[in-house]
A = this chain, B = another copy of it.
């Protein structure tokens, strides 16, 4: 008799057993599998859309918001996008096997540090079925088995996508067990994954703040924390007004729903007196609601008041806090207090202030005179990313394929012993 617990453990054990065989595959074998997976998504798209329709129907009945239903929905175009994502992963260089260091010791030992797969990667995510194909593809390219646990609202879609991917794998060298989907939609399946030390080598949470917090605060399996972004742009006294406005507007409005969008604008007092009213007007034209400190509201009377809670909120929406500060130090202090160490920008023509900001602000990415929206695997030139790490260990910032690898020392001798 299977219990609720046993599905998670049983599938993690299957993934673990498959990991060794997957790790031994050549780049071409893995790329071939990725391309077949892409083809299968297109070939069987009607089945996927039908399964997705079940999820959407259930979602509407259970009162999911329009935004959530939109994220859940699949159509031919979105499936084509998933397939294209897998083909792009196939085109990326394979980091596995790369030699990172080569050390020749005086005793003749040759020590090579080489990239190897991590092993078994757990992914916990929300009801976005595209993540299923994307995460499976990135892990496969790096030789890792995956245990996927997606949001319950996408269960039918995810089940069908994994079924279709496995159909494709049947014609390849990749062991079918390398991709596992947890179908237990209860919270307890997540709880169990978080404690599977020894079976899962790492868990990567992808989603909103509460999902990430639950994983970070409860997992004993190593975690790579991703995502939450309370990002700031600080406009210094000496900033070029036009550049500052362009960068600030871009950071806020180009895609407000994502983690690298700006949530709070910090403005030097002298800049604010001359240019904040104009900048606020440009934000308003883009439909941005402003919440300001007292000084901001003197200059921008239509702004609502900003509270402590506002400064600590990731809106992911067309809402922006604005705070006037007296110096770059005050800006840095504000960021230290409210930031999530994701992406932070200074706009300035003053090299010393730029240097101070870039070195003292503790974040995955710090920008001088460029929009925080550039914190992204593609924009950094890495290609597809598994997420943006906001923690200090293992990987920080956009995580391309190398972030899904570990290393190993290979030591070649001819009889050396230690004296």
Contact = CB atoms under 8 A, between A and B. Distances in A.
Interface stretch (A127-135, A304-312, A369-377): A369-377
Interface string A215-242: 0111110111000000000000000100
Contacts of A370: 109, 411-417
A207 interface: no
B20 A362 contact: yes
A98 interface: no
Copies of the protein in its oligomer: 2
Say what secondary structure dominates the interface of chain A.
mixed
A182 B255 CA distance: 46
Given A220-B216, A394-B393, A367 B413 contact: yes
A360 B410 CA distance: 11
Interface string A136-155: 00000000000000000000
Contact of A363 (B202, B218, B371, B408): B408
A42 to B, nearest CB: 28
B416 A364 contact: no
Interface string A351-366: 0000000111011111
Interface residues of A, number: 68
Interface string A333-362: 000100000000000000000000011101
A209 interface: no
Nearest to A376: B418
A217 B368 CA distance: 41
Nearest to A250: B417
